[in-house]
Every structure is written in C-alpha cells, then in structure tokens.
Chain A
C-alpha cells in the first residue's frame, strides 16, 4: 500500500468502471434530479429558469402531499412495529430448540422470495372491503367466526387504510427480521447465559441484562433496513390499490406527477424521499464503517 502506484494502480483500475458508472448513475443522477427540482420543468416544455425552492414550498403547501406523508407515517409505524414484534417472537420461539425448526424457518421466510406484485394479487382479495353477506377475504373469515365487529373497509379508509396495507408488508418481511434476530440469538455465546444463570439471575434479568444488550446491534440493523424499505414502499400499493388518494404515499404521488409530465414535481418529491432515507442510512453507514475499523 505504501509502495506507490505499482501497488495500488491495478486494483484501482479494476474497480474504476464501477466507480465511474455509479458516479454517473447514482451521484450524477441525484444531482440532476435536484437540479430539475429547482427548475420550472413542470411540463414537457424544457426548463427555462431556476426557481429556487419554489417547488418544495408549493409541495408542502399541498393538502394532498401532506396526506401522503401522513399515510407514509402510519404505514411505517405499523410495518416496523409488526415486523419487529413477529420477527422477534418467531426467532425467540425457534431459538430454544424446536423440532423441525428448518420447516418453520423456511415457511416464515418464503414470502421474501415473492414479488410484491404477486402477493398484491392475493392480498387485494384478502383485504376486500365488502362486508356482511357480500364479504369475501378476511371479512368473510370474521363473518363466519362471528367476529363481525372486526369487519372493516381495510385500505378504503383514508386515514387508517395504510395500516391495512402494512399487513401484506408485514407478511412478507417479518420472516426476514426473524432471520436477523435468530442469527443474533445464535451469536450470543452460551457461556454468557450460563454465567448469568450461575449467578442466580432470573429469566427476566437474564434477558434484561444479557440477551437484549447482545441483540441490540441486530435490532438496530433490522430497524434500519425495514425502516428504509418502508420509506420506499411503492410496488405493493400499486399492486393492491393502484395510485388512489386513500393509499397515496410520496412514491406513488411521484409516479402520478411523472406520468403527467410534471418533472419538476416528481423530482422534488424524489429529493424529499432521498433526504428521508439519507437521514436513516448515512449515520448507519458511518456507524458500521467505524465499528468495522475498531474490529480491525
């Protein structure tokens, strides 16, 4: 590394195509996107002037955009909550040794292999909003079980509809969080548990002072991965409801703006989304890089 270009020239050359391509298609296009968002390219007519933050101010003044942010917030809350709870619960149950563990694991994880578009087909059916005699899907199950009060209009509700959209998302990703937690559980040295038990720690204290602290890096990873996926949610909503007001989030609003050729607006929404994700991801990347350095 110290001996000059003869040593570091070849590896740099080998990796340079990737650096150039990502430089253009990630960083260059992000720059281009920001510049479109600062222009008046609100139609097919090429941009004529720089308008500063006008597009951003206009967007935050829209009831529709605020509603899409609120939807995203509700979705994120339920999605993260659901995947973390079920992911942890499944991992916790499987960790302690279960016959046919592999079967449970594979089944809980399999929805990850399926596209949101395909699962959207069946979930649109399950979340059918018809009630009573015409009910099908989950409402029919509630009807038949005598749990009528649980019947609801699912995603047709403009406020809480997003919680219904979170159900399929939880179904698809809880298994992933389970896998993360399970690897966390399995990474805890058995000696640590034993030592705590020898010291007479109760089961609760064992978890509170030994297991949970050991799991916290995994929980953070899970939180960040699921959280940033949640901010990008698009496919699932398009597959279940298409782009409609009730289930609109910034990503689907962007699609509406772009297909009506309002490039400035779609670019503005995109920049806001990027900022949201960056707030979550950049500290995480820095944290991971530092942790790696400390390990040597």
Chain B
C-alpha cells in the first residue's frame, strides 16, 4: 500500500485527439501557448524562490556590506573574507546564529521526535478501531475527535496557561511535548482512519475467523501494513511541533523553549540591525523540516492532503 497524494497523473491512454491529424497552424499556436505557459511557470518559480535567494545572499554579507542600494546583489567578497582588517566575515553571521540557536535546536529535536512518535502510535490505534473494529456511534466519536483539529488554539489558551501555572508545570519543552501529543491526536487519528479504510475487509475477516482478538489483529495484521501511514503522521507531527510558535510563546520561554522562540528572539532581539545573522538563523532553523520535505516529499504531501478530511 502506498500513500495516495492524488497528484500524480494517471497513465494517459491515447485519446481521440492524439490520433487526429493536426494542421501546422494549430500546432504553431499550441507551440506558442506552450511557450507562454513555460515562461509564466518559470516566472512564478523565480518569484517563489526569491525569498530563498534573499536569505542566502544576505546571510553571507558581513554587516558592513549591508546597504540598501546593493541589498539585492551578491556578496561583494567571499564569506570568509573580513569586510576590513580584523572585521567580521559573512560566515560570522552563521557562527552568531549557530551560537544563538544550537541549544534550542537540540531541545526542539527532544520535543518534536517523541511528540511525533507518541501521537502517531495513539493515532494508529484510534484510526484502526474507527475504521476497522467499529463500535456503536463510532462516527459521532470520530467527529468529536476531529473537531479538535480545527479549533483555534487561542480558544483553549487562557485556561491552559492558568492550568499550567496552577499545576506548577515547567516552562520547558516537556510541557510542550505533552501539549503537542494531545493536540496532534485528531489529525493522526484522521490520517490513520483514512489509511486503514484502504485495508481489504477480507484480511480483517480472516483474522476474526481465526479467533484473533482486537489487539492481536492490530499487532500482527494491521501494524505491519502501517509503515506508510506512520511516515505521513510522523512527518506531519514533527513538522508542526518543529514549526510551532503559538504554544511555545504562551507556555515556554526563549531560554528553555524550542527553536522558534530562539529564532524570533534572534531576529527581533538586541541585534535588530543584523539581518545577516537573523537570516542565517532562519535558514538553520528551517533546515530539518526542509530536509524532511526534500527527502520524503510524497509523504509530506500525503499529510497535507489529509487536512481536507475527505479520504
């Protein structure tokens, strides 16, 4: 079983059109509109990539070389060459950013990886019973769970902050870990429910006939088929925990919290003028999720598409 992203083109059968002889005039027009389309697509490609160019280029310019007139240009010197004798280099931006973020990057891994694993496992169990080992009112329970995915988290933030204070919970990533598991349950449940709906009924029935209980069926038949589902939920959960700013801001602080807080502090903190370090930091902080996206893009999209509820 694989993850359906719905994006891939179906193998096209020869259509009636392709058999028809085309006049050269029509072909010329098609060629022109084809060219126009590529020009347009490349134009949009450049626009979408433009912020990346800005990030990279600016991050490699020492502060002395930053000036509005040349702000879109390439660095005027190599990133290891100082702007003046003994002055800062482009790479110093990266060193500054690394020093400001490295501890929080470590903490974010400690937060995002367990949050992804735990929520995925619970989501798999929920999805399994909702799709394949049903009970009365399973659909009502599913909608009850699903609603949690769409609420604005602001709607629970005030009492959550009060709860954290009155229970004396720490402001570090351990509290955030629990929070991300809880609020990740709806989407993980949804993804697995839709995924398991694709497992053939016969497999389940065969297990039931053999007298397998629910847990045994889950463990020996369903779990071994679940890897693609897990990849999708783990990526989804990892990315949202990694990129989260809202919960982090309300429940944590920049000394104990995840990278989003440290980055925001770097970008808006004391060195406001140092865009170079801020941009190097933005690149550093985005690297893990970008690597996941590049390596496992198909599964990333699978998670995205599940947001549209329909299976």
Write the residues of chain A forming the contact surface with B, with a CB cutoff of 8 angstroms: 1, 7-8, 10-12, 14-15, 17-19, 21-22, 25-26, 29-30, 32-33, 36, 86, 90, 93-94, 96-98, 101, 104-126, 130, 133-137, 140-141, 144, 171, 175-176, 179-180, 182-183, 186-187, 190, 194, 197-198, 217-218, 221-222, 225, 228, 231-232, 234-235, 238-239, 242, 250-251, 254-255, 258, 263, 266-267, 269-271, 273-274, 277, 281-282, 284-285, 288-289, 291-293
Tell me whether A239 and B68 are in contact in the complex, defined as CB-CB below 8 angstroms, given that A19-B144, A258-B161, A281-B150 are known contacts.
no
Q: Which among A17, A113, A293 is the interface contact of B122 at CB below 8 angstroms?
A: A17
Q: 8 Å CB contacts to A: which residues of B222-275? A: 239, 242-246, 249-250, 260, 263-264, 267-268, 275
Q: Is the interface of A mostly helix, strand, loop or mixed?
A: helix
Which B residues are CB-close (under 8 A) to A134? 68
Q: In this assembly, does B305 line the interface, its C-beta being within 8 Å of a C-beta of chain A?
A: yes
Tell me whether A190 and B13 are in contact in the complex, defined as CB-CB below 8 angstroms, given that A18-B189, A114-B289 are known contacts.
yes
Q: How many residues on the B side are at the interface (Cβ–Cβ under 8 A)?
A: 105
Which A residues are CB-close (under 8 A) to B122? 17-18
Tell me whether A242 and B213 are in contact in the complex, defined as CB-CB below 8 angstroms, given that A19-B144, A108-B48 are known contacts.
no
Tell me whether A288 and B310 are in contact in the complex, defined as CB-CB below 8 angstroms, given that A7-B135, A117-B260 are known contacts.
yes
Give Cα A114–Cα B51 distance, bound, in whole angstroms: 12
Tell me whether A18 and B185 are in contact in the complex, defined as CB-CB below 8 angstroms, given that A197-B17, A239-B245, A273-B155 are known contacts.
yes
Q: Do B285 and A118 touch (CB < 8 A)?
A: yes
Which B residues are CB-close (under 8 A) to A194? 15-16
Which A residues are CB-close (under 8 A) to B48? 107-108, 110-111, 171, 175
Q: Do A19 and B7 touch (CB < 8 A)?
A: no
Q: Do A235 and B245 touch (CB < 8 A)?
A: yes
Tell me whether A112 and B151 are in contact in the complex, defined as CB-CB below 8 angstroms, given that A125-B58, A140-B71, A258-B158 are known contacts.
no
Q: Do A266 and B158 touch (CB < 8 A)?
A: yes
Q: Do A124 and B267 touch (CB < 8 A)?
A: yes
Q: Do B147 and A281 touch (CB < 8 A)?
A: yes
Q: Which residue of A lies closest to B8 (CB)?
A: A186
Q: In this assembly, does B78 line the interface, its C-beta being within 8 Å of a C-beta of chain A?
A: no
Q: In this assembly, does B145 line the interface, its C-beta being within 8 Å of a C-beta of chain A?
A: yes
Q: Which among B37, B45, B186, B245 is the interface contact of A22 at CB below 8 angstroms?
A: B186
Which B residues are CB-close (under 8 A) to A111? 48
Q: In this assembly, does B40 line the interface, its C-beta being within 8 Å of a C-beta of chain A?
A: yes
Tell me whether A90 and B281 are in contact in the complex, defined as CB-CB below 8 angstroms, given that A115-B289, A239-B245, A288-B310 are known contacts.
no
Q: List 18 A-B contacts (CB under 8 A).
A: A1-B135, A11-B133, A14-B129, A18-B189, A22-B185, A25-B182, A26-B151, A29-B159, A36-B159, A93-B40, A113-B286, A116-B243, A118-B285, A125-B279, A135-B68, A190-B12, A263-B162, A270-B156
Q: In this assembly, does B23 line the interface, its C-beta being within 8 Å of a C-beta of chain A?
A: no
Give Cα A107–Cα B294 distance, bound, in whole angstroms: 10
Give Cα A141–Cα B54 distance, bound, in whole angstroms: 12
Which B residues are CB-close (under 8 A) to A1? 134-136
Q: Return the CB mask of B6-24 against A: 1 if under 8 Å, else 0.
A: 1111101101110000000
Q: In this assembly, does B130 line the interface, its C-beta being within 8 Å of a C-beta of chain A?
A: yes
Which B residues are CB-close (under 8 A) to A144? 72
Give Cα A140–Cα B186 distance, bound, in whole angstroms: 45
Which B residues are CB-close (under 8 A) to A96? 37
Which B residues are CB-close (under 8 A) to A98? 37-38, 41
Q: Return the CB mask of B79-119 against A: 1 if under 8 Å, else 0.
A: 00000000000000000000000000000000000000000
Q: Which residue of B lies closest to A106 (CB)?
A: B297
Which A residues are CB-close (under 8 A) to B16? 194, 197-198
Q: Which residue of B lies closest to A174 (CB)?
A: B48
Give Cα A293–Cα B307 distance, bound, in whole angstroms: 19
Q: Do B37 and A126 touch (CB < 8 A)?
A: no
Q: In this assembly, does B206 line the interface, its C-beta being within 8 Å of a C-beta of chain A?
A: no
With A30-B155, A93-B41, A133-B69 given, name 9 new contacts (CB 8 A): A11-B133, A14-B215, A26-B147, A30-B156, A97-B9, A108-B48, A221-B308, A221-B309, A255-B250
Q: In this assembly, does B203 line the interface, its C-beta being within 8 Å of a C-beta of chain A?
A: no
Which A residues are CB-close (under 8 A) to B72? 140-141, 144
Give Cα A121–Cα B274 distance, bound, in whole angstroms: 11
Tell me whether A122 and B51 are in contact in the complex, defined as CB-CB below 8 angstroms, given that A234-B246, A242-B268, A277-B151 are known contacts.
yes
Give Cα A21–Cα B180 distance, bound, in whole angstroms: 12
Q: In this assembly, does B214 line the interface, its C-beta being within 8 Å of a C-beta of chain A?
A: yes
Q: Do B5 and A183 touch (CB < 8 A)?
A: yes
